[in-house]
Amino acid sequence: MVAPAVPEITEESIHESIDARTESLIALRELGPPDLVHLLKQNTRNPGKLRITPSSRARLDLSEKLGWDTLRLTSTPQPTFQTGVYHHVTGVDASSSASLAAYINTLTYTREAQQQTHKIVEGLYCCYNAFSRLDMRVHVTIPGTVEAYCVDERGEKKKATEELWLETYLCSVLRAYSYADDGSGDTIRKIMGVRRFNPVTNTETEHRFLSAAESLFWRGWQLGSDSVVQVPNTVNNHLTAGLLKYLETTGRYASGINLFEKLRTQSIEVSSLLAKVLFMGNEEVDGVRVLHEALQESPMDYVMLDAQAEFLLKKAKTAATPEHKEERLRMALGCADRSTIAAPSEFGTWARLAQVYVAMEDWENALTILNSCPMFTYQDKDAPIMPEPKDVHLPTLPETRLEEIDSEPESRFSEQVDPSLLNLRAASYRGTFKQAYAILTEMTSKIGWDTLLKIRSNVFVMEDEYRSEKGNPKNASTDALHQPSDEEAEGEVEKPTTAVAPAAPAEVDPSPEDSISRSATPAPATANGLAPEKGDEHLSRLNNKRLCERWLDSLFMVLYEDLRVYTIWRTQMAQYRAQSIQYKKSAEEWEILGSLAERLQNQDEAVEAYRACLGQRFSPKSLTGILRALRATKGSTRDMVAAVIRLVTWQYRWYSEFSPELLFTVRSLIEDEGAVKVRSIIQATSLPQDVLDLTHHYAALCATFRSSGTDG
C-alpha cells in the first residue's frame, strides 16, 4: 500500500524547529507531542560555488599576487542553498535508532523527493520518552553516519541505552493511539502536517508491544492519565488506557486476557483490567467471577467497584423485564455508592453514581450527586509549539483524490455563520465538564426543561429563600450567573448573558431569572424575619437543601442557551415547511446545528442537520455523526460502508493511514456481516479503485489479526 504524502513546513532559519522543541521539553506533562522529523535539503542544481561579485573582484585581483590559498581565507563563499523543512509523525517503529534512521531514509525515495530539485542531505528524528522525560534523537547524514543520543529537559546530550529505547518504543505506540483521529477531523486540524501510521500492523509487532507493556506496566502511572482522573495509579493511566483501546480496536481480546492474567499474579488490582477485557470479548460470566473474587480480597478497590457498577448499569438498560432492571440497578447503586466512599476525590465514581440515579429515574438524588462531583481543569494533550513557518507545502497523492472531498478545505472558510451558533459554549466543553453536561442533557431529554427546573428548586437553596433566611441580597444559587467562575477564567465557561427564556420543547417560564433563581416564593415575613406560623416549616425545608456549585449553575445556563437556539431552529423549520418554503443555512451552520442536536440527545434531528450539511459540501464531522447514528441504530450496512470509504479517503488525504475508530467500525461490520459481503459492498461502489483500496487495507488488517467474521 502506498504511503501517505509527506507534508513540508519550511523554516525561516535552519534548525529553529529543533531549538523550539528542545525549549519546550521542560513544559511537557504527559505522553509528549508527536515525533518531529527535521530534514536538511540542498539544491541539486547549485550545491555551492564561490560568489564572484564586484566587492570580491578586488580580492580576486589581490589573489593573483598573494596566491589562491589567501583567496580561500579572504573571499566570501556562496551559501550552499540549504533549506530546513520538518513534519510530525506518529506510529513509526521507535524501538531502535536503526528503525528511525530507516524512516528518514525512506523519505529520500518518495514520489515527491524524486521530482524535486532539492535532495535530502541530513535528517534528525526526535521521539519523546515520557518515562525518563528525555527526547531521543537520531541524526542521519545522507550518505554517511547515524548518531543516536538523547536530550534532557535542560538541553544536555546524554547516551541512549537499550532501556531508554524500550521506554521510547512504548511511548511511541501509545502516542499513535492518543493522537489518532476519530474520523471527524478535529484532531487532524489541531496540529498541521502530521503523518499518522498504524504502530501495530501484525501479530509480530503486537507481541513486541505487549511485551514492552508488560515490562513497564508497573511504571505506567508515571505517564499521567486522562483529564477526568485526579490521581493516576497502576490501573488508571495512559498505558492501561492505550492497552484497552488497542484491544477494543483490533478485537485481540485473547492477547489482552493472557497479559492481564500474568500481571494479576503480582497484584490483585489488575483484576479490574482483566474483567474489562473479558466483558469486551463477551465472556461476561468469567468477568463477573474475576471481579467477585478480587473484591473478596480487596473490597474497597474503587476501580473494580466502578467496573462492576458500569457492567450492571449496562445490563439494566437491556433487561427483559422491569423487575430485572430494578434488581440490577439496585446492585449497581450499591457498587457505585461504595466506589465514591473508596475514592471521594475522583470524578468518575461520582459521575457513575449520578448515571445510576438517572437510570433509576431518581432525579433529585441524581442532581444532588452531580452537584457533588469534583471538577478538574481540562489538560489538553501535549502539542508542539513551533515558530511561524516560512512556507507550508501540503501535497496530495492521486490515490486520495475524490471530487466530493477535495473542495472541502476551500469552501468551509468562506461560509457565513450566525454569531449565536458560534457562541454555544457547550461545544467547547472537555473532560469532566463535558461528561457532567452529558448527564444533565440526558436528564433534560427524559423529563423536560420545566421539570428539571422544579427538581432543581427542590434540591438547591434558591435566591429568595436565601434572602429570607439570611437577609442577604447576595444570591447563593445563581451567584455564578453574575460572577465569573474559576472555569470561566480558564476558558471552560464564559459569563452567560442570556436574558430571554427559550420556548423549549416543553413549556418554559418567560424569564431565566424567574425560572432558575426565583422558583421558590418566600413566605410572608414579619419585621423581625419569617412569619411565626411558617418559620419552622421554612427552616426545615431550607436545612434539607444544598447550595448549588457555581460550575453547575453555569452548566444550567449553558444548557438553557443550547435549548433556546435548538428550539428556535426547530420552530423556524416547522414554519417554513408549513409554508412549503426551503429553510436555508450554510454548511457550517448545519454542522453546528447537528452537533447541538446530538449534544441534546436528539439523534434524528442531528442526522437531519448533518445530511443537510453534506448536501452542500463534504464534512468529515457531519459524516462521522451520521456514522455514529447508523452504528447506534444498526442502520444500513451499505450506508455505513459508503461513509467509511469517504472518511478513510479524507483521512488519507491529510496524511493519516490509521484511525482506531474507523478500524473498529470496519471490524464490527465484518463481524456482523462477514468479510466477503463487506468487501463486495466496498467493491460495488462507483468510486475509483485507488480510493477503494484504502478501505480494503482496513479490511486486510482485520484478516491479519484473524478478527471474527474474516473467514467468511
Local structure of 508: helix, strand or coil: coil
Query: Could you give the residue ranges of the DSSP H alpha helices within 343-462?
Result: 347-359, 363-372, 403-406, 408-412, 419-422, 431-447, 449-459
DSSP string, 153-170: TTS-EE---HHHHHHHHH
**What percent of the chain has pLDDT above 70?**
82
Cis peptide before 505 (omega within 30 of 0): no
Between CA 162 and CA 150 the distance in angstroms is: 12
Average pLDDT, stretch 630-653? 93
Query: Could you give the residue ranges of the DSSP H alpha helices within 268-391?
Result: 271-280, 284-297, 302-317, 322-342, 347-359, 363-372
Q: Are 272 and 304 in contact (CB under 8 A)?
A: yes
Between CA 422 and CA 596 the distance in angstroms is: 11
Which tens digits make up the pLDDT trace of 588-605?
Answer: 999 999 999 999 999 999
Between CA 409 and CA 396 the distance in angstroms is: 13
Which tens digits make up the pLDDT trace of 284-304?
Answer: 999 999 999 999 999 999 999
Among 88, 118, 1, 8, residue whose Cα is nearest residue 396: 8
Query: So where are the chain's domains?
Result: 8-46+81-190, 202-359, 421-565, 618-712
Q: How confident is the model at residue 12 (pLDDT cuts 50, 70, 90)?
A: very high
* Dihedrals phi, psi of 120, to nearest 5 degrees: -80, 125
Among 438, 453, 433, 435, residue whose Cα is nearest residue 363: 453
39 beta partners: 85, 123
Supply the pLDDT for residue 493: 37
* pTM score of the predicted model: 0.85
Residue 465 vs residue 234, higher pLDDT: 234
Q: How confident is the model at residue 403 (pLDDT cuts 50, 70, 90)?
A: confident
Q: Which residues, other chains included, contact 474 with Cβ-Cβ below 8 Å and sequence gap of 6+? A: 466
Which tens digits make up the pLDDT trace of 42-51?
Answer: 887 665 443 3
Q: Report the chain's mean pLDDT, rounded to a whole number.
A: 85
Q: Which residues, other chains included, contact 33 with Cβ-Cβ below 8 Å and sequence gap of 6+? A: 21, 24, 88, 128, 191, 382, 383, 384
Q: How confident is the model at residue 513 (pLDDT cuts 50, 70, 90)?
A: very low
Helix (H), strand (E) counts: the chain: 33, 11
Q: Are 699 and 652 in contact (CB under 8 A)?
A: no
Between CA 29 and CA 640 the distance in angstroms is: 38
Q: How many degrees, rounded to 5, is the angle at CA 4 between CA 87 and CA 119? A: 55
The answer regarding whether domain 202-359 maps to CATH 1.25.40.10 reads: yes
Among 257, 335, 256, 260, residue whose Cα is nearest residue 303: 335
What is the rounded end-to-end Cα distance, in angstroms, of the chain?
Answer: 23
Q: How confident is the model at residue 408 (pLDDT cuts 50, 70, 90)?
A: low
Q: What is the 3-state secondary structure (H, E, C) of 624-649?
A: HHHHHHHHHCCCCHHHHHHHHHHHHH
pLDDT greater than 50 at residue 174: yes
Q: How confident is the model at residue 494 (pLDDT cuts 50, 70, 90)?
A: very low
* Dihedrals phi, psi of 222, to nearest 5 degrees: -65, -20
Sign of CA dihedral 123, 126, 127, 129: positive
Supply the pLDDT for residue 177: 96
Sign of CA dihedral 445, 361, 284, 273: positive
Q: Are 395 and 85 in contact (CB under 8 A)?
A: no
Supply the pLDDT for residue 401: 84
Supply the pLDDT for residue 496: 34
Average pLDDT, stretch 271-284? 96
Which tens digits make up the pLDDT trace of 214-263?
Answer: 999 999 999 999 989 999 999 999 999 999 999 999 999 999 999 999 99
Residue type, 364: E
